[in-house]
Chains A and B, each alone.
Chain A
Amino acid sequence: QKEVEQDPGPLSVPEGAIVSLNCTYSNSAFQYFMWYRQYSRKGPELLMYTYSSGNKEDGRFTAQVDKSSKYISLFIRDSQPSDSATYLCAMRAWMDSSYKLIFGSGTRLLVRP
């Protein structure tokens, strides 16, 4: 079992839809939770980061963390074709005497005009 599970998709939605992207994890020691967006042939771009359970909002994006269920989500409101990308969740863990990010496999999102 992977430490971080993420549905690879692809997820196809019409423009304007609300998108829900999710990750589950097994290690209760994970602390910081992050969402990255990666366009094809580009490096990941940090979208949001959060530490505690609850919601964090930034424009059209809302990150949600439920530590009791080991479940995190990213919601995108009023989705746009420009949101079409791969979305990676990431979590920080203490491993081998250092902090490392553990990534999900990424979910490909396609927003249809």
Chain B
Amino acid sequence: GAVVSQHPSRVICKSGTSVKIECRSLDFQATTMFWYRQFPKQSLMLMATSNEGSKATYEQGVEKDKFLINHASLTLSTLTVTSAHPEDSSFYICSARAGGAGALGETQYFGPGTRLLVL
């Protein structure tokens, strides 16, 4: 149980285009989803937190107009990188949390990640 999928797994795009990444919780309903960015050999950097049906909360330094997050249902969140530039090239990982009482409800389950390369 607790499987999170991400699509696509890898994307290459030209500078100036927009890229959408989907994150789905396959076997549970995720009240909260998180988007992280990871550079090579570094830890995960939280970009934003989204709750179903409400606006995402962005971490300091993350441009909300550049990284658009939509959490339209309890099983789907999307991250759109608008007008992508080479410096946006990174590994983007989502996670989902079921919520509810106890340790399991607080645990975040991660997707496999999406590698974005902007040329």
Minimum distance in angstroms from A83 CB to a CB of chain B: 18
Find chain B residues with CB under 8 A from A42 CB: 112-113
Chain B residues with CB under 8 Å of A34's CB are 107
- A88 to chain B: which residues have CB within 8 Å? 43-44
Pick the residue among B44, B103, B104 that contacts A44 (CB under 8 A): B44
Whether the pair A103, B44 counts as a contact (CB closer than 8 A) is: yes
CB–CB A43/B43 < 8 A: no
- Cross-chain contact B115 with A44 (CB below 8 angstroms): no
Give the total of A residues in contact with B, Cβ under 8 Å: 26
Q: Give A88 to B107 CA distance when docked, in angstroms.
A: 14
CB distance from A52 to the nearest CB of B (A): 10
The interface bits of chain A over 44-78 (1 if a CB of B lies within 8 angstroms of the residue's CB, else 0) are 11100111000000000000000000000000000
Say what secondary structure dominates the interface of chain A: strand
Mask for B37-56, Cβ within 8 A of A = 1, else 0?
Answer: 00001111010010000000
**Contact residues of B: prevailing secondary structure:** strand
Task: Give the shortest distance, in Å, between A6 (CB) and chain B (any CB).
Answer: 8
What A residues does B6 contact at CB under 8 A? 43
Question: Are A106 and B43 in contact (CB-based, < 8 A)?
Answer: yes
For the complex formed, measure the closest distance between the CB of B62 and the CB atoms of chain A, giving whole angstroms.
13
Q: Which residue of A lies closest to B10 (CB)?
A: A41
List the A residue with the shortest CB-CB distance to B45: A103
Q: Is A92 an interface residue (CB 8 A)?
A: yes
Least CB distance, B53 to chain A, in whole angstroms: 15
Contacting residues, chain A, for B46 (C-beta < 8 A): 100-101
Q: B113 to A43, Cβ gap below 8 A?
A: yes
Q: Is the CB–CB distance between B112 and A49 below 8 Å?
A: no
The one of A32, A41, A46, A92 in contact with B113, judged by C-beta atoms closer than 8 angstroms, is A41
Sort A-B residue pairs by CB-CB distance and give the 9 closest, nearest first: A43-B110, A43-B113, A105-B43, A43-B112, A44-B110, A103-B43, A43-B93, A43-B111, A103-B44
Extra inter-chain contacts (12) besides given A46-B108, A49-B107, A101-B108, CB under 8 Å:
A41-B91, A41-B113, A42-B112, A43-B110, A43-B111, A45-B110, A46-B107, A92-B106, A100-B46, A101-B34, A105-B42, A106-B43
